[in-house]
């Protein structure tokens, strides 16, 4: 499994990250991710990755169940699986955006 990465501070000017390994598709499963996000006052999760239908979707669903707002910018090598996942998520509980949208949004909030 790939590690999840989360900002250790809310400032966009810092390069401090916390990197932890995970053992399941769900980045919340047996990790300190939820406690970390709560301690930082995080309310919105930006989920990005290359397996829309696996780790990204699983973590996004768990995040939604934990009352986080979900922004989803991902990809996968199978277009049909990718589109099916995005359709389900957009209908149910996630805002679907492009990676460019996320980059522009982060740049904007970094200036305020």
CATH number at residue 39: 3.40.50.850
pTM over 0.75, yes/no: no
Cα–Cα distance, 43 to 62 (Å, whole number): 14
What pLDDT is recorded for position 100? 86
Structurally, how many domains does the chain consist of?
1
What pLDDT is recorded for position 99? 82
DSSP-H helix ranges across 1-112: 33-39, 57-65, 79-92, 99-111
What pLDDT is recorded for position 16? 59
pLDDT tens digit sequence for 80-109: 888 888 888 888 888 888 888 888 888 887
Closest CA to 63 of 76, 46, 48: 46
Print the domain residue range for 13. Answer: 4-111
The half-sphere exposure of 103 on its side-chain side, counting CA atoms within 13 A, is: 3
DSSP, collapsed to helix, strand or coil, labels residue 57 as helix
Would you write out the chain's pLDDT as a tens digit for each of its 112 residues? 344 444 444 454 554 566 778 889 999 999 999 999 999 899 999 888 877 888 889 999 999 999 999 988 877 778 888 888 888 888 888 888 888 888 888 888 776 5
DSSP, collapsed to helix, strand or coil, labels residue 93 as coil
DSSP, collapsed to helix, strand or coil, labels residue 49 as strand
């Amino acid at each position: 499994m790939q590690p999840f990465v989360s900002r250790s501070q809310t400032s966009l000017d810092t390069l401090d990250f916390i990197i932890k390994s995970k053992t399941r598709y769900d980045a919340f499963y047996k990790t300190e991710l939820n406690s970390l996000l709560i301690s930082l006052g995080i309310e919105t999760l930006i989920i990005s990755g290359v397996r829309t239908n696996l780790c990204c979707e699983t973590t996004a669903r768990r995040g939604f169940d934990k009352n986080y707002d979900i922004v989803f910018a991902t990809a996968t090598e199978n277009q049909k699986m990718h589109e099916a996942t995005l359709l389900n998520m957009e209908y149910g509980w996630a805002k679907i955006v492009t990676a460019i949208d996320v980059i522009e949004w982060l740049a904007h909030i970094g200036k305020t």
